Amino acid sequence: MFSNVSNFSNDVDYALAMIIGISLFFLVGLTLIMIYFMWRYDHKRNPKATDIEGHIGLEVLWTVVPTILVVMMFYWGYNGYLKMRTAPDDAIQIKATGQMWSWSFEYPNGRVTDTLVVPLDKAVKLDLFSKDVIHSLYIPAFRIKEDMVPGRDNWMWFIAQQEGTYNILCAEYCGDRHSYMISHVDVLPVEDYEKWYNAKEKKSDYPGLALLKSNACMSCHSVDGTRLVGPSFLGIWGRKEIIVLENGVEKEIAVEKEYLMRSLNEPNVEVVKTYSKGMMQSYKDVFTEEEKEQIIDYLKSLK
């Protein structure tokens, strides 16, 4: 709490802390009173009950006090919220698009990335779009989220106040890989950001790498050996893997062109043991045969 990561996080945390404080007071207080009454007025200690039909003073008291408290709570929430809906005009405008199940961010100069890079202490406004169903762009550390609704142009804005990397999650259920629709925001000092922003996108030796990046492959397959949803790409060429055939029979193979092509075209038929079926869509018609070759060329290089 009170990490001050974004320009909203302290307001939200303050409102949260105040409401939790008031709530705990009533929860603990009323629970203790209830337990005390149950002990004090047990029929053994208090054989004769006293009928009390009510007390107008008390009724007024416990109508007025909660009213005042909830109006205060409303105000705290409203106050923090007003800021969230008032974006400065000079904010950097980035177009954020959600699709099943990846994010993309398009910068004013046309650069497109799958992770968000923003400068420290500068206002950033995200214009939110969806290509298919409703997604919700959620950055927990910044305390913000807003739905990406197809056919609508929602927006959100923020100022990142601390360098670092923070998760971007999807908060609106969007299908099988909803929980894997993850990216991150990198907050860089202004000069680093400028350098990154103006850098010519390095022409990679491997056009396959760009294809993998722009099709959200990397959110499930790491290139550093980390186990994600699918097998890591690191050292994949020639690796011995046990695969499960359609009839459930297990078989050891070496991963080479034949299996990689199969995995691109029919990814759910022969899956590497310990990984789930149904997590990957077919790329049969997404990539041309030439592009598939390019991807395999890149995978070969990851030793």
Partner 1 sequence: MTDTNTTAMEQSFWNEKKGIFSWIFTLDHKRIALLYLYAITAFFLVGMTLGFLMRLELIAPGQTIMEATTYNKVFTFHGVIMIFLVIIPSIPAVFGNFMLPIMLGTDDVALPRLNLFSWWLYIIGASMALLTLVYGPGSADTGWTFYAPYSVNTDTNVTLLLFAAFVLGFSSILTGLNFIVTIHRLRAPKMTWFKMPLFAWSLYATAWIQLLATPIVGITLLMVIAERTFGIGLFDPALGGDPVLYQHLFWIYSHPVVYVMILPAMGIISEILPTAAQRTIFGYKAIAISSMAIAFLGYFVWGHHMFTSGMSGEARVVFSFVTYLVAIPTAIKVFNWVATLYKGSIHMTPNLLWSTSFIFNFMIGGLTGLILGALSVDVHVHDTAYVVAHFHYTMFGGTIFVFFGAMHYWFPKIFGRMYNKRLSYISLTLTFIGFNVTYMAMLIVGGQGMPRRYYDYLPEFTTLNQISTVGSWVLVIGILMMIYNLVRSAKKGEIATANPWNGVTLEWQIPSPPPLHNFVKAPILSDKGPYDFSILDQVNRENLEN
Q: How far is the C-alpha of 98 from the C-alpha of 131, rounded, in Å?
A: 6
Q: What angle do CA 206, 207, 208 make, to 5 degrees?
A: 85
Q: Which of 88, 175, 189, 225 binds partner 1 (CB under 8 A)?
A: 175
Nearest distance from C-beta of residue 162 to partner 1, angstroms:
16
Q: Which is nearer to partner 1, 80 or 231 (CB)?
A: 80
In the window 35-64, what residues touch partner 1 (CB under 8 A)? 37-38, 41-43, 46-55, 58-59, 62-63
In the window 63-122, what residues touch partner 1 (CB under 8 A)? 63, 66-67, 70-71, 73-74, 76-81, 83-85
Both tokens of residue 135? 């997604």
Contact status: 26 vs partner 1 (CB under 8 A): yes
Q: Which is nearer to partner 1, 163 or 176 (CB)?
A: 176
Which amino acid is residue 276, in one-letter code? S
Radius of gyration of the chain from its Cα atoms, rounded to whole angstroms = 28
Site size toward partner 1 (CB under 8 A) is 85
Q: Which is nearer to partner 1, 69 or 261 (CB)?
A: 69
Q: Which is nearer to partner 1, 154 or 214 (CB)?
A: 154
Beta bridge partners of 214: none
Alpha carbon distances (Å) from 136 to 12, 98, 217: 19, 8, 20
Nearest distance from C-beta of residue 223 to partner 1, angstroms:
19
Both tokens of residue 30? 């009323």
**Angle at which helices 207-214 and 289-301 pack, to 10 degrees?**
100
